Structure 1
Amino acid sequence: MSVVPVEELFTVFNETAMIIQEELACTYLEALAETGENIFQGSILQRDELSELTIKRLTKSYDSIHLNRFSNEEIRKSFQLAILKGMKEIVQHNHQMTPDAVGMLVGYLVDKFVHDQSFRLLDPAVGTGNLLTTVINQQQSKAVEAIGLDIDDILIKLSYVNANLQQHPIQFFNQDSLEPLFIEEADVVVSDLPVGYYPNDLRAADYEMKAEKGHTYAHHLFIEQSMRHVKAGGYLFFIVPNGIFESEQAPMLHEYIKKYGIIQGLLQLPLSLFKNKNAAKSIFILQKKGEGVKPPKQVLLVNLPSLSKTAEVEKILSKIDGWYKENK
């Protein structure tokens, strides 16, 4: 019986990460980043810190696979599985990974809305790079350069390894994305926005959406920061909480979007994807105002069925198709 490529590659990522984790007494995720870098570089970079026996075990495991036999999606999925395993050790609220089906849907929407054969893509909350690389993998025959930012040094290292293994040209910055950014303007933004309050009131004061009292919502500030760093007419695809327009700070969000953007669509994701309905999210599509940018005749509003119901999903995709032809 042949081994499924994703399982075969996951086994190597997982076993070698566990070997490194034990020998270097680090976390699984740190070890995974190290082993991913070894596989990409084609050599063991921690030789000075490892025993001869460990080097032999790692070499044997690495020699059993050749990356060029795997597609980018197989590499991404197997690396993602290993990351998910590591995340169980350190469950932090903001470290939830974007579900695959959602990443695929965002990739489909980016492909539909963005017709340039080459463009620059920004994710200001890149995490492990899973959403960003899922989207890039779906831009068939388009050349995509990307920029990813994250404040967490382990996540950004995993992102960097993830991108290298898939051979994607992505620049990474390990910083608070709400601090000033020294990056080129992007054509498109995708992001699964961090939800909650931003603790740095001094920095928040530089934003139009700052709260009049108390902390400001981080997800509002991420929308504003993204809008500042995307070109006029550029598209922004955000994964946002369902109640984003119902919070006490929502009026400022309304005002800001009215001033700088055009709402293209809101696609409510199926509740079955989330632990409870309070955690449920939607895909929010914005376009930055610019010369010749017109609002759609009507905003694309969709309630997505369970993504396992293929026939119903097909219907929705053809509805999106119809809307696109009529409005674009």
Structure 2
Amino acid sequence: MNFKDNETGRLNRVIDLESILENLSGIYNIDDTENIPKGDMPGDKIKIGESHIKKAQIILPRLLKMLVPILNENPNKRAVVAVCGGSGVGKSEIASLLSYYLNKLNIGSYTLSGDNYPHRIPKYNDAERLRVFRQWGLKGLIAGGEYIGDRPQILMELQKENQDSNPELVNKYPWLAIYQRSGRSGLKNYLGTSNEINFDEISGIISQFKNGADSIYLRRMGREESELWYEAVDFMDKNVIIIEWTHSNNDNLLGVDIPILLNSTPQETLEHRRARNRDGAVDSPFTMMVLEIEQKLLISQAAKAKLIVSKSGDILSYEEFINVMVKQQ
């Protein structure tokens, strides 16, 4: 199957969906998953396993049925797919596999990581999240007339121990409930919003791509101040960008054609993060709060997803997804 111009590498004729679907079994063999091109987040640890392969192969034919008509209708034969979900659900791995399979079908695909587009590098963004939580928490105590007596000193000690977000301490310090509730409210107004993320930049990339740009400068963000740069990426032979990112189904992101939601519960997410040892504070009360807020944000946006996939690889309707999440809460 070759729908491309031999000289330019561009798609130059209508893609025959039926012929592609008939040949899917021939592309599924993977000799070495280490050689599969991954996303573009510097230093990201991606380990593709059998569960990811199984899930990607469940998704691919369903994705193609939605994707091919969009490619055929776009004058530049281009489309954007989003793979979203909570931390540790397998976004990077499954997006990489989907790109790999599309490329084997001669549908050029590039995997873009949305984690390159917060306003701040990771350690500063983590610090800003904590600052927002604490600032709003303090304001809540003051507004409620509860920032009195020895409470400021107690709170400072809890902050030093990173325990001020621990809900178990509310029994000992009832006033801490106001602090945590107010802090959570402030954090909700930061996480996954334009205050945290440069959605305009990614939306601009999507627009350039779909309008036929041959080359686009993409951002690269490491974990240190010196690890921030741009690379000119060649999109001459690319037809699909797959954005792998928690927030790739966010209302602030414009131009996504097919959002795919990979579902997991907060507990499943935390267990995976522990196993992967992604960061030192993975099981802290504050990290749990962040994960819970992000999970609720994903649920609130799930109705837009064109495909919802459970942790076990089942395809869920939106109604089934809501029922599952209600039972797991």
> Given the two structures, how large is their TM-score scaled by the length of structure 1?
0.31
Q: Relative contact order: is structure 1 or structure 2 higher (C-alpha 8 Å, sep ≥ 6)?
A: 2
> Given the two structures, how large is their TM-score scaled by the length of structure 2?
0.31
Higher strand share: 1
